[in-house]
Amino acid sequence: MPPSEVILWQHRKQKQMGGYDFDRQRPIDAYIVDFYCKFLMLAIEIDGSSHDNPTAQQNDHLRQARLESLGIRFLRFREAQVYHQAPTVIQTWITHHPL
């Protein structure tokens, strides 16, 4: 597990995610998302530098569009955000409610 995911997973284990149950590395359709809450139908992705090139960005866009077509909503964070602004990331995560 990348260090940025470890940081968020530790908060999840400490019940700091608004009481919602999130799974890590959850398979959905033909993809795997970093974190997923079935109740909220919310996927959370942590994007590192491997997501910076145009091909990876296009693949991310297609993947996200496919999963959104299934009713899944997304929150995306940069890996650096998790390292340097974890409280803000967590606050965004726990206050994100269904539409």
Please state, in angstroms and as integers, the Cα–Cα distance from residue 85 to each residue in 28, 36, 78, following that order: 28, 21, 10
The CATH code of the domain that includes 34 is 3.40.960.10
Total number of domains in the chain:
1
Distance between CA atoms of 88 and 82, rounded to whole angstroms? 8
Going residue by residue through the chain (99 aa), what tens digit of pLDDT does each one get? 666 666 666 666 545 456 777 888 999 999 999 889 898 899 989 887 676 789 989 998 999 999 999 999 988 888 888 888 777 777 776 676 544
Residue ranges with strand state E in the chain? 23-28, 31-37, 42-47, 73-78
Domain that holds residue 36: 3-95
pTM of the model: 0.74
